[in-house]
Amino acid sequence: MPIGLSVHDLLLATPSQALCGPMSFSLQPGDRLAVLGQNGTGKTTLLHTLAGLGIAGCGQLLLQPENSAELDVTSLSPQQRASRIGIVFQHEAEQMPASVYESVMLGRLPHARRWQWESETDHQVVRNTLEQLELQALADRDLASLSGGEKQRVAIAALLAQQPDIYLLDEPSNHLDIAFQLKILGTLAERVRNQQQLLVMATHDINLANRFCNRVLLLTPDGQHHFGHAKDILQSELLSRAFNCAIESVDTSIGRFFIPQV
């Protein structure tokens, strides 16, 4: 279902310090937002806040599903939150013993009715997702035995199988080789664009942000932020100041790339 998000006066904070804000911005259905900024500027804290996992600070987060009333993220029930919002953390919590297939099936939990076994639709979604992320050959493997990149693909497969309205990802390219970075971010961006959903990803890769996101939120160490169209925010001067490192942009036949100066 097409969905937008509106953020009002959001102040990001930890229990001991204010990090960033107040910030106000809105995302339209189909938008892909990259959250950029130096280490410790609050990117992960923002993702947690958008997921409704405890607002640190204050502000208002409103989901705007097409043709129905706005929903305040902080007042969603756990069931509503799980069916609308999916998140892949940077460091997945210690996993329970499970196969790859079972782990991806966990993404279907928000769709299950109480006391109901997985449906044929659930199995079909899991099989399709495993195929999409080239994980079929690993389906029966114990999660603990996988490589870092394989585990990251399983985590993203579970998110795709969940089919939420909002996809939140912290450093999605972590551990992925170059081909999988492009394939997986391409898959996510295409789905979000086609289904008019939302994607928010925290990343340190400016080039992936430029390639797959149409909106950027740049957090700076002084607690300021810049939000806007990717092409307006991804500018050498702004990036160099935000990262305290000279960053050049180079235009090539396949697009613009950003390179830190040595």
Ligand X SMILES: Nc1ncnc2c1ncn2[C@@H]1O[C@H](COP(=O)(O)OP(=O)(O)OP(=O)(O)O)[C@@H](O)[C@H]1O
- Binding interface with ligand X (CB under 6 A): 14-16, 19, 37, 39-45, 202
Identify each DSSP E strand in 97-148 by its residue range: none
- Least separation in angstroms between residue 170's CB and ligand X is 7
Mapping DSSP onto H, E and C, the string for 26-54 reads EECCCCEEEEEECCCCCHHHHHHHHCCCC
In this complex, which beta carbon is closest to ligand X, that of residue 255 or of residue 260?
260
- Least separation in angstroms between residue 45's CB and ligand X is 3
Give the Cα separation of 57 and 64 in Å (integer): 22
In this complex, which beta carbon is closest to ligand X, that of residue 48 or of residue 81?
48
DSSP 165: S
In this complex, which beta carbon is closest to ligand X, that of residue 101 or of residue 243?
243
In this complex, which beta carbon is closest to ligand X, that of residue 30 or of residue 37?
37
Q: Which of 30, 38, 82, 60 is nearest to 203 (CA)?
A: 38
- Least separation in angstroms between residue 242's CB and ligand X is 12
Q: Is 119 helix (H, G, I), strand (E, B) or coil?
A: coil
Q: Which of 82, 79, 60, 67 is nearest to 29 (CA)?
A: 67
Give the Cα separation of 43 and 88 in Å (integer): 13
In this complex, which beta carbon is closest to ligand X, that of residue 15 or of residue 97?
15
Place of tokens 């932020």: 225
- Least separation in angstroms between residue 219's CB and ligand X is 7
Distance between first and last Cα of the chain: 46
- Least separation in angstroms between residue 243's CB and ligand X is 11
Token duo for residue 109: 């939990």
- Least separation in angstroms between residue 46's CB and ligand X is 7
In this complex, which beta carbon is closest to ligand X, that of residue 132 or of residue 152?
152
